[in-house]
Amino acid sequence: MLQVSLYRYNPETDEAPYMQDFSVDTSGRDLMVLDVLELIKADYDGSVTYRRSCREGVCGSDGLNMNGKNGLACITPLSESVKGDKLVIRPLPGLPVIRDLVVDMSLFYAQYEKVQPYLQNPTPAPAIERLQSPEERAQLDGLYECILCACCSTSCPSFWWNPDRFVGPAGLLQAYRFLADSRDTATEARLDKLDDPFSVFRCHGIQNCVNVCPKGLNPTKAIGHIRTMLLNRAT
């Protein structure tokens, strides 16, 4: 039997959050953590609340903290997450909890919005498309794949303490995705908005973001590239 400890909080009925324990029969199967949550919801307590959608690591809905490490519940097998026979599931840290495992991601999205994550190019659009060489296109690899699950930003202490001022690893990865795009012409304006003591430079390079990214991306490296662009521009 798998011992699951689940973070529970319903602001309409609970004065404070608490942990609820479940003994879940997995029949020895190496299920994904999301499957365990589905089992609990179906067989033990239908009021357990969490986000989920695609259940294959594409939509980024079920970012959770499992035994202390952020990840997507749908692609995290028990064999990777369980210690002993214990699995502690909490919501993503640092964001306000709406209910149980569901967090309010407004601050996360506000930072994402801040980096203007869309192509900016005022020149007239060509008839078909703006072309890139294979090398220019390759610059975007490792950047465009982000699914905005927030696992990285909510594992970052700098984002915990300053979620309103530090853009966070997810937002900065997207900031660099457009700084690196040969078709984007707003590079200077984008860099202007990032050159303050908080937006980029709150990153101290501890690489929690790299450690937890379920897509294997490297926001710390992207942040390093942004720093280099700022430095090259100023010197």
Residues in the site for another protein, rule: CB under 8 A? 157-158, 161-162, 164-165, 192-202, 204, 227, 230-231, 234
66 within 8 A of 87, measured Cβ to Cβ: yes
- Closest approach of another protein to the CB of residue 235, in Å: 9
- Which residue, 52 or 193, is less far from another protein as judged by CB? 193
- Closest approach of another protein to the CB of residue 71, in Å: 25
- Closest approach of another protein to the CB of residue 152, in Å: 18
- Which residue, 24 or 115, is less far from another protein as judged by CB? 115
Q: What share of the chain is helix, strand, coil (3-state, %, to 5)?
A: 35, 15, 50
- Which residue, 22 or 176, is less far from another protein as judged by CB? 176
What are the distances in angstroms from CA 80 to CA 21, 32, 99? 20, 9, 26
The tokens 């994904």 sit on which residue? 32
- Closest approach of another protein to the CB of residue 113, in Å: 15
- Which residue, 61 or 199, is less far from another protein as judged by CB? 199
Task: Give CA–CA dist 168/178, Å, rounded.
Answer: 16
DSSP codes joined into one string, 43-95 = HT-TT-----SSSSSSS---EEEETTEEEEGGG-BHHHH-BTTEEEEEPPTTS
Task: Give CA–CA dist 97/49, Å, rounded.
Answer: 11
- Which residue, 71 or 94, is less far from another protein as judged by CB? 94
- Closest approach of another protein to the CB of residue 197, in Å: 4
SS (H, E, C) 149-195: CCCCHHHCHHHHHCCCCCCHHHHHHHHHHHHCCCCCCCHHHHHHHHC
- Closest approach of another protein to the CB of residue 135, in Å: 28
- Which residue, 28 or 197, is less far from another protein as judged by CB? 197
